[in-house]
Structure 1
Amino acid sequence: MVPINSLAPQTRENRAPQRNPSVSAYCASTTLSPLDALKRFDKNPHDFLLLLDSLGLLIGTITHKDIQRALIDHQSFDFQLDEIARRPIVVLSPFDSFATVIDLFQNSDVSFIPIVTHDGYLLNCIMRDQFHTLVLEEITYHFSLDFFALDKKKRQFNLAQRPWGFYKSLFISEFTQTKVITVFPGEQLSLQKHHKREEHWTVAKGEGLMVLGETSFAVKKGDNITIPKGEVHRIKNTHSSKNLVFIEVQLGDYFGEDDIVRLEDTYGRV
């Protein structure tokens, strides 16, 4: 990760590698007028612009709401975009690993991450939804990927973000709910139990350590675990770089999140 406020000046002679063409649609020059920026948002499905100086250095980001607030404050378009740009910016470098991408998206306030060189030249940008698609489609991460092409692959995942990873609810009825749960490398669910449902887990990918009652055991792809109602349980992804994915089938008469009784939690949610 590159701290944006430490980026050094750059000249055209030492310009960085070529920017991904798709990200250009989300770039704006500091000379762009606020009115023209508003017009850009009409065709911008992601509601942000990356503000660049004349050399292509990233100096901030702006959203539609940023311009609206500035209009209210100034009562006119008499302001510059760099006056309202958001700083500092969370960014990636071309050399950051996928584990770093995962760590940054753990912050629910981060919806997109620009990718820049050490001296601030914008190369690319990845959105949270594109990151989810990357994981679920099992596409190998590289900073030069056309992440915006993944928008076409988006399948309305409706993912629920958690500190340990995320899940998608596939089906729910009066008597059952089915989820696909992804646990990031090295992360684990809370030690928990449920009063109103039993659960059946099938490991679809990866490896982990399962705690069930007083026992613990390794699990891998194809393993099935039955968790009776009221039984203490947790699972940890023991791999250093690959996700753990399992299918959870809940059986009972209530499936609300408030039926999770946490006994221990790495993320302070007890």
Structure 2
Amino acid sequence: MPEHELAPPDGGGPVSAVSARGLTRVYEVPGRRDVWVTALDGVDLDLPTGSFTAVVGASGSGKSTLLHTMAGLDEPTGGRVSLLGTEITSLAPAERAAFRCRNVGFVFQDYNLIASLTAAENVSMPSRLAGHPLGGGQAVAALEAVGLAGRADLKPHQLSGGERQRVAIARVMATRPRIVFADEPTGALDLNAGQVVLDWLRRLAERGTTVVMVTHDVEAAARADAVAVMGGGHLLAWSDSHDAARIAELVHSTRVPARTPAQAPAPGR
């Protein structure tokens, strides 16, 4: 079967770790109350437990909107998302936040570390907020696992970009989430630091965590189990290739023209 026709990965049994049906997101253009842009247009997917999926596509393809909507950080205009068998799109905002706190970890390009806290305190914060504070030494152990045991007492401004991203990985490891969403996790890093981060995302998946990574970097995408290609708000193709050049060709072959904002009535919720 030609690669661009590959079906999405098997959902891993009766309950997928991440599932979306008819996922749609429409945004109002700032300053134009009658003009709307469709960022997601009826996306369906199922990701099995313990899988590592990279989502790629040109700028404006909808890949980051897909991640944020699946993670419950952005509310879809239509469709539904289920994580670990729970339909999070039907939850109230407070319930959705509590679910994320218990089950989901995040790694972002800008690290999302609290500037006033040390590395160890940043690692401990999500567990504390969830009402399950880490035991003595757990934060330091997580930092040691990513090679930062000697940096536990330093604040983010005292760390390099690669070290800050490893603190973010240690934070995820310490909270042991069942799903990790990573948005351009290597985008601000040099090649060596980026490879370290990808190694750790790979290890998380090997330990049973479901990892979903949005990236513009085809070399990073090649480290994943499967690659989903977005374009024009649609999920256009799947690939299991680990060849960066092949993935780049696939992205190019599925590139669609940027959507022009259209005048339309406000979308219903």
> What TM-score do the two structures reach when normalised by structure 1?
0.28
> What TM-score do the two structures reach when normalised by structure 2?
0.28
Greater fraction of residues in strand: 1
Larger radius of gyration: 1
Greater fraction of residues in helix: 2
